[in-house]
Structure 1
Amino acid sequence: MKIDLRGKNILLGVTGSISAYKACEVARLFIKSGASVQVVMTPSAERFVSSLTFEALTRNQVLTENSESWATKLNHIDIGKSADLFVIAPTTANTINKLSKGIADNILLQTALAFNKPLLIAPSANTNMIENHYTVGSLKMLTVNEVTIISPQSKLLACGDEGNGGLAEPLEIFYQTAKQLLISDFWRDRKVVVTGGGTREKIDDVRYLSNFSSGKMANSLATALYLKGADVCLITTANHPNIPNEIYTIDVEDAEEMMEYTIDSIRVAKKGKMSRATMNSSQP
């Protein structure tokens, strides 16, 4: 499924994590979808990936401590004015805790403090650092202040530990960022049920009746609705490896099972739109 982000301007922040190299793939996905991308890097990030790499990918000069200029718009105040949103990927535990306290002691944090549009962060840190009560508290504070947290993965980390803290996959970062750019007031938090794939009706232990339905149309429809802001439940018999992680999926096999889950999901969906209160909203 091709997602069209032409005319959108994205500011990508990169901090000093071992997963900084994955930000190159994130930038590439944005560029491939037609968006314009500008990058801001902390001094620590430059130890992992050179600014030249991002300049080659985006065809825009990268904002760093050394490249900041007040003779042009390449500075921490002006760079964000033309951006539709700011996504920081990866975001270290150090950056998370400083963001929540309003600390601005490097070029990226200064840019974030001056930015007044949607902000997304993709945490990446050692398990003990990401689950430290200070970091957990900072993430909660950022969430209630309408910062979108792109949840990290549990995996074998670069440090050798296994657990929570791995950077989300670049495609998932792309999806959640695109959602912020394409969200519709009508579809925002509206519950939607999508079914797809060919059911398999068992004849005996070896044979079954089915059809050639791949489920790709359902996957694309579910993804499109997700990008518009809907709370999507996908009931399918098919594989769904490249859809957003936030889409709730139910894997079924036969028509009876699909019908049962569809009836239950529609009953839940009829309860209407979800709502989430924040510190900046008037909702109770």
Structure 2
Amino acid sequence: MTIEGLGSADAGGRAGLAYERRGCGPPLVLLHGLGHRRQAWSAVLDLLTPHRTVIAVDLPGHGESPPLAQTAGQGQSAIRAIATQLFAFLDEQALDRPHIAGNSLGGALALIAGARGRAKTVTALSPAGFWAHGWQFGYARAVFKSALLAGPFTLPLVPALARSTLGRYVMDGPFVHRPARMPPEQAAADARAFFTAREVVSAVLAAQVSFTEAVPPDVPVTIGWGTQDRLLPPSQARVARQRLPHARFVRLPDCGHVPMTDAPGLVAAVLLDGSAGN
């Protein structure tokens, strides 16, 4: 697999998001979830790049990207501010309505892009913003907040925890159904990246935001939901069906909230199918 391009943050008012561009074929932009990084998609890249030019992006305040722009957040929720920087990135890369796929927060951003006419197709895996019960946002926020509070105490232990199957369950159990499948290096790097992203994580969690925008019927939408998602449970898919009546829904058996590690072959197939045609 050849790396066709590698970008990083810059100054001068540009979005300057860190990204990797690989493969050949129609462009497919991949957006990770809250507190994660572009390497969330590593397990599926080799299955995608023979068929798509994949652009995996670090969202603002995540990974190697710059912080969420202060000016972007004025009068906007943090999610809308992130979307503003994402759209600037698409403009910088001359990506006119690429296929866009995302997980969790990234799924919500992909749907926003579809609603705003910035995506040719949308594939969203357990997208945020479809709360089925009042307690669900509070629970998700508590999971993230607990992890942030534990960060200063657990960071020194991360290398040892990552080397242990039990340790990976402790760190990643709320997000991944099969943490044992995660390489120790990935688990350790993900834990460090989560704590690095603490400011934008807190900003996103400051207020409950629901997805209520209309995606035009001529934009194909695929929604995949892990049957073992413990962070955003599958009951939220029923809400998504009501708000996105023309979307195609796919069950992801035995997958957690971040399904790419649990079932890379299945997730790659869903991404390729969701971005086919057009």
In the superposition, the TM-score normalised over structure 2's length comes to 0.37
The structure whose RCO (Cα within 8 Å, separation 6+) is larger is: 2
More strand by share: 1
**Structure with the largest fraction of helix:** 2
